[in-house]
Amino acid sequence: MDTHTGTLFQHPDRNLAMELVRATEAAAIRAVPFIGRGDKNAADKAAVDAMRKFLGTVDFDGVVVIGEGEKDHAPMLYNGEIVGTGRGPACDIAVDPIDGTSLTAAGRPNALSMLAVADRGSMLDASTVFYMEKIVTGPEGIGVVDLRQSVGENIRALAKAKGKDVGEIRVAVLDRPRHAQLIEEIREAGAGTRLLLDGDVAGGINAARYESRIDMCIGIGGSPEGVATACAIKALGGLIQGRLAPKTAEERERGAAAGLKFDYVYGADELVRSDNTFFVATGVTDGELVEGVRRKGPIIRTESIVLRSHSGTVRRVVADHLAEKWLDEGPALRATL
């Protein structure tokens, strides 16, 4: 046994989930004063500070594989940062204290605070290539849907697998100019779109949930978000595939130097090799996946979702926090809640 840590061969266990949810709850609550205030950087900073503080108390030896620094130029929770007490399982971590900073700043729905955890060395480090083409469905899409097929073929195949008419299929896509042709093809195939202003992590998870009105999530989004989403999809038993989409030749060269594959479709087990992943998210603003933070008399209520691949469980955690413990933010937090 390696005596360097003594915990190298331990895996994250179920108790870790409730520790992690404290970090996303804190980040979501601290972001509240900035909802609708037009300053996404201030919202992100407040959430980053809160998440980092709580992660520092968790008994695990965590290294941030997917962090804030690359995307938002954040000074904390950067790629490679060590978090936790150093006692307990050795883990890779993907963090996004606010997935949807623009949504938060504008006061729009579907912003959430999230993090994902897996065994050390199991997450694909795609930080050198920012964008990834992704497709996500529920279990019915396995062996049926494939990024190498046209979107029309995928829609028709998924409809048949789900026993639906093509006209009943709903496809979530980020509303971006780069997706204009994709959106047209979805509609030409006979399916309907659900255009996302931001937050394709929630879109992907909703595509894999059996009770969701979304059947598929497709398009080009962040590579880090693709890896984090894979942690959740493995718990839901769904399908996720990703293909790197570098914007420049230089970015492709950097990715190749880091060992990444191009013109190659990564499956869930390649995005995250661990069979024991956690995904935790707390709502900042209301959305289909989770409700946002809200004040109810003397308490602040949060709703979170906790997914674990090892047990295949999805848990919802509704927590009531004594408001007076959080109101050191002053009038802004009181007014917003």
Within 13 Å and on the Cβ side, how many CA atoms surround 145? 31
pTM: 0.88
Q: What dihedral angle (degrees, nearest 10) is formed by the CA atoms of 217, 48, 42, 288?
A: 30
Q: Do 305 and 315 contact (CB within 8 A), yes or no?
A: yes
Q: Which pLDDT does position 255 carry in this prediction?
A: 94
Fill in the amino acid letter for 321. H
State the CATH class of domain 131-271. Answer: alpha beta
Q: How many residues in the chain?
A: 337
- Which residues belong to the annotated binding site for Mn(2+)? 44, 68, 96, 99, 225
**Where along the chain do its domains lie?**
16-120+277-325, 131-271
Instruction: Please give the C-alpha separations between residue 4 and each of 7, 86, 87, 90, in angstroms, as whole numbers.
Output: 9, 12, 12, 12
How far, in whole angstroms, is CA 184 from its chain's centroid? 26
Q: Which two tokens stand for residue 87?
A: 């006692």
125-155 residues labelled b (16+ CB within 10 A) or e (exposed) = bbbbbbbbbbbbbbbbbeebbebeeebeebb
Residue 255 backbone dihedrals phi, psi, to 5 degrees: -65, -40
Q: Is residue 56 left, alpha or beta, with left meaning phi > 0 and alpha meaning psi from -120 to 50?
A: alpha
Pairing of strands 299-308, 278-283: antiparallel
Judge whether 171 and 218 are in contact, CB under 8 Å. Answer: yes
Q: Name residue 220's beta-bridge partners.
A: 133
At 2 the pLDDT is 37
Binding site feature residues: 44, 68, 96, 99-101, 131, 176-178, 198-200, 222, 225
Q: Spell out the residues 6+ positions from residue 45 whose beta carbon is closer than 8 angstroms to its own.
A: 74
Locate 114 and state its tokens. Answer: 């999230």
Please give the average pLDDT of every successive group of 10 residues along the chain, which has 337 residues: 41 77 95 94 92 91 80 65 90 92 94 94 92 97 97 98 97 97 98 92 94 96 92 96 96 95 96 94 95 92 95 93 74 43
Q: How far apart are CA 3 and CA 148, in angstroms?
A: 45
SS3 112: strand
Binding residues for substrate: 99-101, 131, 176-178, 198-200, 222
Please tell me the predicted confidence (pLDDT) of residue 80: 86
- CA dist 127 and 99 (Å) reads 17
pLDDT, position 336: 43
Residue type, position 327, single letter: L
CATH of 16-120+277-325, one of 3.40.50.80, 1.10.10.10, 3.20.20.140, 3.30.540.10: 3.30.540.10
Distance of CA 226 to the CA centre of its chain: 8
Residue 82: exposed, middle, or buried by beta-carbon count in 10 A (0-12, 13-18, 19+)? exposed
E strands, the chain, where? 61-66, 82-83, 90-99, 112-119, 131-137, 170-174, 192-196, 216-222, 239-244, 266-267, 278-283, 294-296, 299-308, 313-322
Please name the residue that has the structure tokens 């950087």: 41
Q: Which of 115, 22, 96, 101 is nearest to 285 (CA)?
A: 101
Per CATH, 16-120+277-325 and 131-271 having the same topology is answered no
